[in-house]
């Protein structure tokens, strides 16, 4: 096997190459991945799918993620190798289940890389020009620019160009990716400051007056129309909890990717603890600003009502088919091209960094699969200059490009990105089961783990308790997604995509196993231990 490929699995770096990422770097990378500004996206969808959801209080539902983060932390300390959940599940349960779960998370994340780039085009570029048209009395010159960039071909060209830039960053190696994470976090914080300042210099009264003037729809009529159409204008606990457990928790997915880079991280126990828990804390604080400012600036029930009109395709919706994203809303509130530009550029930079980060961590899973001979050994080869898995990163870019094109030309297949939540938590069901059975099914591996992994609480191993709760959370969230699905608010493609991502890796595993069996090799033997140092 390639010595370079082994580098990503090293437990102790002898040459200073493999373990390039410090504890703070891991924290910033994990916090930047989920896209802290995506709160401004999910608030457009969640109150429609879960009528009565209060998006600020819904943030408390994210506390469930501390349980899953705790499970990841104990696993990463016990098995400090790149590959994350693939290593844990394949060694504890079965290699086919490990590949299946890891494949589902990996390609869900890769799909994000492609789809997020289209978000940049839609909400930073197109809606910048539309916002400029709106605040200038529907100026035809600005509208023409918005329409030009809103064509499918322009979306495709810009997304492809951005993907090539991401590939260049990948090629330069882990340190470049870490630097981009710092830029991503900085852009997010600047965006939060812009939103706060916009609120200080204007206020809800100004927004209401401007909205009525610029759209021709009376501000007070928005709630009235939504209510007459059957939308609830009360906040409900159940809806709030389900919205938080789906679309706000979705905004944490990627915060666990420090575990996928465990072979490249210094001081794994400290780094993973800081990254897994610290990133969630940072996310919750930033979301409170974005969700809170949205409700304060525009009105809480009013915002939910507008998002209902948008999602329901109601004829009273005022923005000519454009989404009610913050680019438009802050333009109405301030009537200032400067604020529109600043929020658009901050979202573009933050989203680009998130898109790159969400593909980077899972690329290490290809190396882990290749190391275990489930896919060709080429994917284990690293660039000698940058220590990057070249072939794995190319697959990430190709996969991201395909999902980007699907989002542009067949948007029903990626609608509300619901399949990503459903697929991810299906995979985490097996992570939870692995935590439950680790101490009994793999006693030798468990007993050789650091003391923290063997911690007990009320006479039961902590990792077992976390496994049970992770299982319960994952099953519940899948159920929460099925509620709007069976109501008809989410397309059937949510289930189709999830099942495809589930069964493709099962097919790959058994075909590979059969191929090696014909050569007299039982590949399952290697799963009795974790990869070599």
Tell me the CATH number at 66. Answer: 1.20.1740.10
Domain of 493 in residue numbering reads as 3-528
Burial class of residue 139 in the structure, from the number of CB atoms within 10 Å of its CB (0-12 exposed, 13-18 middle, 19+ buried): middle
Record the tokens describing residue 198, joined without a space.
Answer: 């916009």
Question: Can you tell me which residue has the tokens 């809303």?
Answer: 329
pLDDT at 5: 44
Confidence class for position 428, pLDDT limits 50, 70, 90: very high
DSSP 8-state code for residue 442 = S
Answer whether residue 37 is part of any domain. yes
**What are the CA-CA distances from residue 157 to residues 118, 150, 163, 368, 401 (Å)?**
10, 11, 10, 33, 11
Q: Whats the size of the chain, residue-wise?
A: 533
pLDDT at 195: 93
Q: How many domains does the chain have?
A: 1
Q: How far apart are CA 168 and CA 166, in angstroms?
A: 5
pTM as predicted: 0.89
pLDDT at 383: 81
Answer whether residue 310 is part of any domain. yes
Assess contact for 426 and 498: CB atoms under 8 A. Answer: yes
- Mean pLDDT, residues 173-190 taken together: 90
Answer whether residue 180 is part of any domain. yes
Answer whether residue 185 is part of any domain. yes
Where is 461: in which H helix or E strand?
A: strand 460-461
Looking at per-residue pLDDT, the higher value among 486 and 260 belongs to 486
Answer whether residue 254 is part of any domain. yes
Question: Can you tell me which residue has the tokens 């993907």?
Answer: 163
pLDDT (tens digit, 9 = 90+) per residue, 35-72? 889 999 999 999 999 999 999 999 999 999 999 999 99
Q: How far apart are CA 440 and CA 454, in angstroms?
A: 12
Question: Can you tell me which residue has the tokens 């099942």?
Answer: 499
Residue 323 CA to chain centroid, in angstroms? 21
**Contacts of 423 by beta carbon, 8 Å cutoff, 6+ apart:** 104, 105, 108, 497, 498, 501, 502
pLDDT at 396: 95
Answer whether residue 228 is part of any domain. yes
- List the beta bridge partners of residue 456: 461
pLDDT at 268: 63
Answer whether residue 533 is part of any domain. no
């Amino acid at each position: 096997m390639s010595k370079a490929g082994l580098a990503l699995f090293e437990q102790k770096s002898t040459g200073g190459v493999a373990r390039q990422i410090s504890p703070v770097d891991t924290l910033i990378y994990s916090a930047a991945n989920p896209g802290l500004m995506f709160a401004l996206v999910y608030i457009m969808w969640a109150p429609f799918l879960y009528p009565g959801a209060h998006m600020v209080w819904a943030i408390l539902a994210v506390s469930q993620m501390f349980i899953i983060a705790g499970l990841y932390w104990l696993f990463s300390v016990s098995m400090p190798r790149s590959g994350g959940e693939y290593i844990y599940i394949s060694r504890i349960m079965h290699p086919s289940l490990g590949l299946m779960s890891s494949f589902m998370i990996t390609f869900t994340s890769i799909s994000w890389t492609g789809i997020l780039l289209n978000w940049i085009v839609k909400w930073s570029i197109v809606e910048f020009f539309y916002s400029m048209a709106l605040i200038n009395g529907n100026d035809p010159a600005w509208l023409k620019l918005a329409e030009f960039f809103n064509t499918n071909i322009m979306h495709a060209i810009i997304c492809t160009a951005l993907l090539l830039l991401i590939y260049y960053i990948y090629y330069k190696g882990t340190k470049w990716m870490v630097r981009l994470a710092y830029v991503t976090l900085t852009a997010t914080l600047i965006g939060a400051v812009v939103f706060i300042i916009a609120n200080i210099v204007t206020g809800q009264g100004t927004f209401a007056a401007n909205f009525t003037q610029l759209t021709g729809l009376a501000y007070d009529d928005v709630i009235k129309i939504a209510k007459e159409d059957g939308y609830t204008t009360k906040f409900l606990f159940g809806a709030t909890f389900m919205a938080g457990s789906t679309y706000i928790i979705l905004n944490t997915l990627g915060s666990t990717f420090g575990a996928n880079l465990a072979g490249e991280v210094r001081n794994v126990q400290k780094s993973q603890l800081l990254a897994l828990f610290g990133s969630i804390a940072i996310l919750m604080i930033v979301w409170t600003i974005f969700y809170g400012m949205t409700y304060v600036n525009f009105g809480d029930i009013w915002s939910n009502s507008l998002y209902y009109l948008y999602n329901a395709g109601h004829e009273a919706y005022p923005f000519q088919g454009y989404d009610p994203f913050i680019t438009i809303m802050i333009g109405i509130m301030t009537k200032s091209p400067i604020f529109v530009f600043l929020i658009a550029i901050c979202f573009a930079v933050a989203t680009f960094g998130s898109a790159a980060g969400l593909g980077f961590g899972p690329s290490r899973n290809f190396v882990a699969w290749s190391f275990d001979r489930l896919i060709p050994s080429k994917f284990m080869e690293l660039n000698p200059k940058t220590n990057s898995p070249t072939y794995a990163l190319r697959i990430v870019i190709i996969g991201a490009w395909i999902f980007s094109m699907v989002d542009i030309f067949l948007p029903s297949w990626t609608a509300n990105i619901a399949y990503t939540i459903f697929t991810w938590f299906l995979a985490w069901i097996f992570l939870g089961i692995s935590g439950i059975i680790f101490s009994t099914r793999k006693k030798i591996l468990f007993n050789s783990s650091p003391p923290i992994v063997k911690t007990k609480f009320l006479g039961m191993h902590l990792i077992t308790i976390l496994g049970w709760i992770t299982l319960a959370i994952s099953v519940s969230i899948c159920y929460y997604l099925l509620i709007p699905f069976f109501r008809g608010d989410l397309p059937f493609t949510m289930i189709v995509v999830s099942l495809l991502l589930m069964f493709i890796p099962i097919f790959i595993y058994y075909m590979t196993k059969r191929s090696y069996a014909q050569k007299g090799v039982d590949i399952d033997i290697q799963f009795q231990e974790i990869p070599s140092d």
